Structure 1
Amino acid sequence: MSERVAQSALQAFISRSLSAVGMPESDAAKVAALMAQADVNGQDGHGVFRLPMYIKRIRAGGMNMTPTFKRLSERPATALIDGDNAMGHLVMHHATELAMEKARTTGVAWVGARMSNHAGPAALYATMPARENMIGLYLAVGSANHMPPWGGTDMLLSTNPIAVALPSKDYPPIVLDMATTVAAYGKVKTAAQRGEEMPEGWMIDRTGAPLTDPTRASEGFLLPIGGPKGYGLSLIFGILAGVLNGAAFGRDVVDFNADATTVTNTGQMILALDIAAFADPDAFRADIDEVWRQMKSSARMPGVDEIRLPGERMDRVRQERASKGIPLSDALRAQLDELAGELGVAPL
């Protein structure tokens, strides 16, 4: 069973919960808006589901509630941000706004971040430039290692995601948001909370046998998309978002799920490309509409009802949840009610 909660109610609950543990109200409101948007988008493993974990880390002193962002290096089209161990949502919102500001002058801008934390789903930040007639590209080092190098058994890599968002005119934006593993670890955690089995192909144990019980996830590791190709992508994305920024990578990555006190030094990057530097924005958006029409009108294989583009499902879920509310499982609702009691705030 599950009940539905309005986006505004969920956002307000997240905001007052974060304020209760010392986050300034303006920052709490900004984080709450991003987290609730993740749930509206259908990215349930990165929305309010993560709130108890964030609160636990904040109360343990693992995140800085009064950060000062510093630009460690800067050129007209680039910058490196020190996030001062702030909540990742705040770091990446700041970094994305800076990248867009620079791109308006330089045409394209790349902003890297270190000393950040888990920031929710990648699409949140890639879509910010897309709303401003830009193309957004986001990379991150995941907040725990769940994958070995191809052929190995030492977990040295994370889900290291990528998101790319391209604006359109009459159709939804094309938004690719994917982990470099077959499934993001958040999906494993939500399956465990809901008492569900994982499909074969998400994880294997250390003997190579399929692992479908999410409560035994620590006994195995996630599989990369496309075999060694996914491993290669995870490695490169981790270098660009982590090593290049002086952030954690490989054995230095802190397991955000198990350790609430150690500074994670999470690395992320955002690229904003101003479409006007290459083409008329309106014409480009119309061209993306034509891409939609061509892909959707392709002849289909037997048994295929519809061809979808990246971001299409997200847009449908967003519309449905914006009007009907966000579904919360009984287990998650109970956990949030318990959290409200601990914090002394009004429950949902």
Structure 2
Amino acid sequence: MSATPLPAARADGPQPAPVLVDFIVRALVAVGLPPEDAATVAKLMVEADLTGADAHGIFRLPQYIARIKAGGTNVRPSIKVNRSAASTALVDGDNAMGHLVMSRAAETAIEIARENGIGWVGAHHSNHAGPAAIYAAMPIPHGMIGIYSAVASANHMAIWGSKEMLLGTNPLAIGVPGGASGPLILDMATTVVSYGTVKKHVLLDKPMPEGWMVNRDTGAPITDPAESKQGILLPVGGYKGSGLALMLSLLAGTLNGAAIGKDVIDFNADNASVTNTGHFILALDISRFVPLELFQREVERHVADLKDGETLPGFGTIRLPGEQRAERRRRRAEEGIPLPDELLAKLDDLARQLAIAPLGA
């Protein structure tokens, strides 16, 4: 059977998702990933772009390739799952691409929840795995709630009142099945903005809003992306955000024998060292509490109440978690994924380094 032909790449403007998947697969295979693993990673990376997490999609490819070429990531891993009890498991990622580790962890959590109602799966010896929402959403088609967190792959935040960066942007994502309007998916960093978004502003030389970062020596706001390396990301909600980041570090890191605090390797600055990134994912079978259809009807009823509520002056329509994500995915699947010229130039340079056809070929 012949493979489905790719849609045509575009000379400019948004690129079809399958074209990006194909390019990522070719790049990863060129540095040693087996084609099947490369395909899994590529699909998850492009899913990030489709849903609008642009700082975690193909934008990350040059960084991933640099780590692989430096020996910082294992391209031929033996990922192992240890079922430690009826409802728990620990995945040893063997320093694989984080997407591969978390795919296995999510599959395991869903399988355990199907058997026992709830599955909590930790992971260690992993790497950066892209946006949190991708994994929190995986249990949803199975009639389950998904909860995901990770220790970020670099420390860019301090505990409240300190200037020593010993906490990451540690994300938290929760996915809940909904009714006709679709699922609710919350994906938030514990900082005001993710560091990936800062990196995108650096690439585009685009000023950052005040309130994202402060200078770690003076406490003054940083808006010039060129000064971001001198900055600390601010936690969401002040001391509450840094406290939440700490607790998620303990759940995703310490509980799994993974790195937190001073043990975290900054994968932005060090391509060769093993990061031992930690994650956890929880899958919860809704039918163990109430019938799934009843739960979805109730979610839909409450969503309608929230959407129909009066707005404050200056606000338009009410937005709920995941609402724009679903619409953006639909639009980008039809129209293509926008890529800045600066990113296209980096991807063309990467293609030359790897001796593969460029993105538009």
Query: Do both share a fold (TM > 0.5)?
Result: yes
CA–CA distance in structure 2, aligned partners of residues 16 and 10 of structure 1: 10
Partner in structure 1 of residue 243 of structure 2:
232
- Give the TM-score, by structure 2 length: 0.95
CA–CA distance in structure 1, aligned partners of residues 327 and 355 of structure 2: 36
Q: Write out per-residue CA displacement over residues 209-245 of structure 1, whole angstroms, 9 at most, x where no aligned residue.
A: 1101122111010000000000110000010000100
Partner in structure 2 of residue 130 of structure 1:
140
Residue 64 of structure 1 pairs with residue 74 of structure 2: yes
Q: Which amino acid aligns with 2:314?
A: G
Partner in structure 2 of residue 215 of structure 1:
226
Q: Which amino acid aligns with 1:259?
A: D
Q: State the Cα distance separating 1:182 from its structure 2 match.
A: 0.1
Q: Write out per-residue CA displacement over residues 287-331 of structure 1, whole angstroms, 9 at most, x where no aligned residue.
A: 111121011011111111111000111112111111110000000
Residue 40 of structure 1 pairs with residue 55 of structure 2: no
Whether the 8 Å contact between 1:163 and 1:177 is mirrored in structure 2 is yes
Shifted more, 263-272 versus 167-176: the winner is: 167-176
CA–CA distance in structure 1, aligned partners of residues 339 and 100 of structure 2: 25
SS of the residue 1:74 aligns to: strand
Residue 243 of structure 1 pairs with residue 244 of structure 2: no
Residue 198 of structure 1 pairs with residue 185 of structure 2: no
Give the 5 Å matches for 1:103-142: 103-142=113-152
CA–CA distance in structure 2, aligned partners of residues 133 and 166 of structure 1: 9
Q: Write out per-residue CA displacement over residues 100-132 of structure 1, whole angstroms, 9 at most, x where no aligned residue.
A: 000001101100000000000000100000121
Q: Which amino acid aligns with 2:65?
A: I
Q: State the Cα distance separating 1:71 from its structure 2 match.
A: 3.1
The alignment of Structure 1 onto Structure 2 pairs a total of residues equal to: 347
SS of the residue 2:96 aligns to: coil
Partner in structure 2 of residue 164 of structure 1:
174
Q: Determine which of 290, 299, 305 is the counterpart of 1:288.
A: 299
Q: Determine which of 267, 292, 312 is the counterpart of 2:323.
A: 312
SS of the residue 1:226 aligns to: coil
CA–CA distance in structure 2, aligned partners of residues 169 and 18 of structure 1: 38
Q: Determine which of 2, 5, 14 is the counterpart of 2:24.
A: 14
Partner in structure 2 of residue 182 of structure 1:
192
Give the 5 Å matches for 1:49-60: 49-60=59-70
CA–CA distance in structure 2, aligned partners of residues 72 and 322 of structure 1: 37
Partner in structure 2 of residue 297 of structure 1:
308
CA–CA distance in structure 1, aligned partners of residues 239 and 259 of structure 2: 23
CA–CA distance in structure 2, aligned partners of residues 40 and 291 of structure 1: 28
Whether the 8 Å contact between 1:21 and 1:55 is mirrored in structure 2 is yes
SS of the residue 1:221 aligns to: strand
Shifted more, 185-194 versus 68-77: the winner is: 68-77
CA–CA distance in structure 1, aligned partners of residues 117 and 82 of structure 2: 22
Runs ≥4 in structure 1, deviation > 3 angstroms? none
SS of the residue 1:303 aligns to: coil
Q: State the Cα distance separating 1:3 from its structure 2 match.
A: 2.1
Whether the 8 Å contact between 1:180 and 1:224 is mirrored in structure 2 is yes
Q: Determine which of 73, 79, 82 is the counterpart of 2:92.
A: 82
Q: Determine which of 269, 277, 294 is the counterpart of 2:288.
A: 277
Partner in structure 2 of residue 146 of structure 1:
156
Q: Which amino acid aligns with 2:108?
A: L
CA–CA distance in structure 2, aligned partners of residues 280 and 120 of structure 1: 32
CA–CA distance in structure 2, aligned partners of residues 143 and 198 of structure 1: 22
CA–CA distance in structure 2, aligned partners of residues 36 and 346 of structure 1: 19
Q: Which runs of 5+ in 2 are unaligned?
A: 1-11
Whether the 8 Å contact between 1:3 and 1:330 is mirrored in structure 2 is no
Whether the 8 Å contact between 1:181 and 1:224 is mirrored in structure 2 is yes
Root-mean-square deviation (Å): 0.9
CA–CA distance in structure 1, aligned partners of residues 331 and 255 of structure 2: 40
Whether the 8 Å contact between 1:100 and 1:272 is mirrored in structure 2 is yes
Q: Which amino acid aligns with 1:37?
A: E
Residue 263 of structure 1 pairs with residue 279 of structure 2: no
SS of the residue 2:180 aligns to: coil
Q: State the Cα distance separating 1:25 from its structure 2 match.
A: 0.3
Shifted more, 277-286 versus 235-244: the winner is: 277-286
**Distance of aligned partners of 1:184 and 1:6 in 2 relative to their CA distance in 1, 3 Å threshold:** same
CA–CA distance in structure 2, aligned partners of residues 344 and 131 of structure 1: 40
CA–CA distance in structure 2, aligned partners of residues 49 and 291 of structure 1: 37
- Give the TM-score, by structure 1 length: 0.98
CA–CA distance in structure 2, aligned partners of residues 288 and 27 of structure 1: 36
Partner in structure 1 of residue 34 of structure 2:
24
Q: State the Cα distance separating 1:72 from its structure 2 match.
A: 4.4
Q: Write out per-residue CA displacement over residues 63-114 of structure 1, whole angstroms, 9 at most, x where no aligned residue.
A: 1111112234511100111100000000000000000000001101100000
Q: State the Cα distance separating 1:156 from its structure 2 match.
A: 0.2
CA–CA distance in structure 1, aligned partners of residues 318 and 110 of structure 2: 32
